[in-house]
Structure 1
Amino acid sequence: MADGPHIFHPESRHVPELSELLTGWKPGKTASFGPQTPNLPATVAEVDGRLVGFLTGHHRFRDWNALVDFHHLAGTDGSWLAELFVHPAHRRTGIGRALVRHFIGASVAAGCSMVVVRPDQTDSAEEQAARQAFFIDLGFTPLRLDPGIRFLPDWLMGRPNDLG
């Protein structure tokens, strides 16, 4: 991976290979990879001609009322990073970081104010802590959630797009 992973939006011809990659997902877990739409982009990482990771999300986050410190962004768009998966054999090689940075770039290009990421509810406490540390390293910080709103996850993290 001397030159880093090749990051791109997959085409329908990649679906069988992506399905194979998804067998590495947690037992009983399914990813939301589906048809490409402008508001739900999927991005994949390829190394040596093989898909080794994917990210899904959208650029229509508008639940600012749930975020105590960001009510002032009501009426603007943010980006919601929904799923990030890197094949276990390729973890800790910069692939997840490259996928997230690509998504942040797309968020900035879409005119969104920030990127929000949620926990994977199926992660163990140890996995959640590792996920949080990964995102903190990329400039994300924990967000204060409005305790009066039901059905929020235990935590959300965000990264304003003006961080550069």
Structure 2
Amino acid sequence: MKIRIATHHDAPQLAELLKHWDRHEFEFQRYVNRRGPNGQGTHVAERDGSIVGWITGSHANENANEMGDYANRPKWRCSVLLAMYVDVAHQDDGIGTDLVEAFLKESGEHGNNMT
């Protein structure tokens, strides 16, 4: 399995993963039209040329000090994990763990706090 940064070319395959979750119809349609998350903060898990999972978030949350628990930490930055999807047929294969580890590694590379 390969974990890599997503590109806009991945959007149709990301949409395929979303189609199993009814509450994500808007995102499904957006990704079908190649308008989905890509670049830093978004990783895909690829197995045998097919995307079997993906994770997306942001490493530029400079407003973390406005969140209740972090109000007393000036200039504290963090990464925010927004969503993660793993193909039902590939759950329990460690894909989710690998995606989270890639996201956390990238977070550290951006100098964001890990605690």
Distance (whole Å) between structure 2 residues aligned to residue 88 and residue 35 of structure 1: 21
**SS at the partner of 1:93?**
coil
**Shift in Å, 1:18:** 2.0
Q: CA deviation at 1:47?
A: 1.3
Within 5 Å, which residues of 2 pair with 1:10-89? Answer: 10-24=6-20, 26-30=21-25, 31=27, 34-38=36-40, 41-61=41-61, 62-68=63-69, 70-89=70-89
Q: Does the 8 A contact of 1:60 with 1:77 survive in 2?
A: yes
- The equivalent residue for 2:5 is 9
Amino acid in structure 1 at the alignment position of 2:5: H
TM-score, normalised by the number of residues in structure 1: 0.57
Task: State the number of aligned residues.
Answer: 107
Counterpart-to-counterpart distance in 1, 2:98 and 2:37: 22
Identity of aligned residues (%): 30
Q: C-alpha deviations, 1:76-116, integer Å up to 9, x for none?
A: 210000001111111111000000000000000000013xx
Higher relative contact order (CA 8 A, sep 6+): 2
Distance of 2:37 and 2:101 partners within structure 1: 22
Aligned CA-pair RMSD: 2.1
Q: TM-score, normalised by structure 2?
A: 0.79
Any stretches of 5+ residues in structure 1 without a counterpart? 115-159
**Deviation digits for residues 92-150 of structure 1, max 9, x if unmatched?**
11000000000000000000013xxxxxxxxxxxxxxxxxxxxxxxxxxxxxxxxxxxx
Give, in whole Å, the separation in 2 of the partners of 1:37 and 1:6: 16
- Measure the CA separation in 2 of the matches of 1:65 and 1:21: 33
CA 90–37 in structure 1, closer or farther in 2 if over 3 Å, else same: closer
Structure with higher helix content:
2
Q: Which has the larger radius of gyration?
A: 1
